[in-house]
Amino acid sequence: MQKTYLCIQIITDAKMEQQDIIISRDLSQSLEQALDGLAYDRLFVLTDETTHEKCWPLIAGLTAMKKATQIVIGATDEHKDLDTLADVWRALGQGGGTRHSLLVNLGGGMVTDLGGFAASTFKRGIAYINIPTTLLAMVDAAVGGKTGINFDGLKNEVGVFSPAASVVIDTEFLKTLDSKNLRSGYAEMLKHGLISTTGRWAELIGFDLDNVDFRKLQDMVAQSVAVKEDIVARDPHEQSIRKALNLGHTAGHAIESLALQEGRTVLHGYAVAWGLVCELYLSTLREGFPKDKLRQTTNFIKEHYGTFVFDCKEYETLYQFMTHDKKNTAGHVNFTLLGNVGDIRLNRTADKEEIFNMLDFYRETMGC
């Protein structure tokens, strides 16, 4: 049984916490390993309706799971709200949960974010394990300790930083993931490549997303997670270097919000990919990011993600979404940019004219 085991220590202000990342080829064995390291009185498993049907059977046979209380929630992002959170707290309480209980979150980012928040607040905090089932959750949402829910129409508005005891990553789940969700998660991997090394970036834009080599993808997922965890370990509460993980997200969130407002919703990773096109252009303009790498990355994104079409009448709306991004301070639009692959430039701002030029570049390059 081949297995990679990464042990990463996250040092927080108040205490030292350890988040084990287990990259596994045998889910049951890896989960047993994660459970072995923890003392708990009662075990709860949180799934959504989809992962309950498709993923729960993969671990249901484990001895530990036979005594688990199951909590099943709705499957889409609209359920990532206060009502569902209250349902989970209630289920934990009614199931006899104590401060020494353990919650296993089995699902995509919605389940790991909400479940992580429920665990971190129930009885002032119980331990939890994440088993991400989508690529987006494996390389981003389920690792790094950000938990939360949407509130008052704002995404991830309420939550806490609270790392899982373990994250068990099994890329077998990816074999049944649809190609759009695979590409969505892959955009975050591309971001991790851009903030790490030229070798990783080149490997990512050379990967055949139409005929996925899952063995190779597993290694690339492990590398991607290691990039994120290295950054999180250095800055768990996003005071400095963790902002590198926001590359592509200022423009990306604006595109995602515009898409939502216009009733043509896009997957998060697609918006991040289009946001990368915008922000790499800004990186070239402001920080000297190499033009050939801008062109190669943009071509890759155009080929695999297509284009989100908008016209210049929508620039003002996109700009307004950018000014309302929660990463901003004092009215400036804040970006993470790059001087080159791996050369991270934090806390860069751009004015309205530069942002409109950036949107011009996106439209010209992406053909809209």
Query: Which residue ranges make up the site for ligand GLY (CB under 6 A)?
Result: 140, 144, 146, 238, 242, 245
How near is the Cβ of 177 to ligand GLY at its closest, in Å? 19
- The identity of residue 135, as a single letter, is L
How near is the Cβ of 245 to ligand GLY at its closest, in Å? 4
Phi-psi group of 152: left, alpha or beta (phi > 0 → left; psi -120 to 50 → alpha; rest → beta): left
How near is the Cβ of 128 to ligand GLY at its closest, in Å? 16
How near is the Cβ of 139 to ligand GLY at its closest, in Å? 10
* Burial (Cβ within 10 Å: 0-12, 13-18, ≥19) of residue 210: exposed
How near is the Cβ of 205 to ligand GLY at its closest, in Å? 21
Residue number of the CB closest to ligand GLY reads 245
Residue among 85 and 245 whose Cβ is closer to ligand GLY: 245
Is residue 276 within 8 A of residue 190, CB to CB? The reply is yes
How near is the Cβ of 234 to ligand GLY at its closest, in Å? 12
Residue 152, helix vs strand vs coil: coil
CA distances from 165 to 17, 37, 132, 233, 322 (A): 8, 9, 14, 14, 34
DSSP 8-state symbol, 171: G
Residue among 203 and 238 whose Cβ is closer to ligand GLY: 238
Q: Quote the CA–CA distance of 330 and 41 in Å, as a whole number.
A: 48
Residue among 136 and 358 whose Cβ is closer to ligand GLY: 136
Residue among 138 and 245 whose Cβ is closer to ligand GLY: 245
Residue among 47 and 336 whose Cβ is closer to ligand GLY: 336
Residue among 91 and 254 whose Cβ is closer to ligand GLY: 254
**Among 176, 335, 131, CA closest to 253:** 335
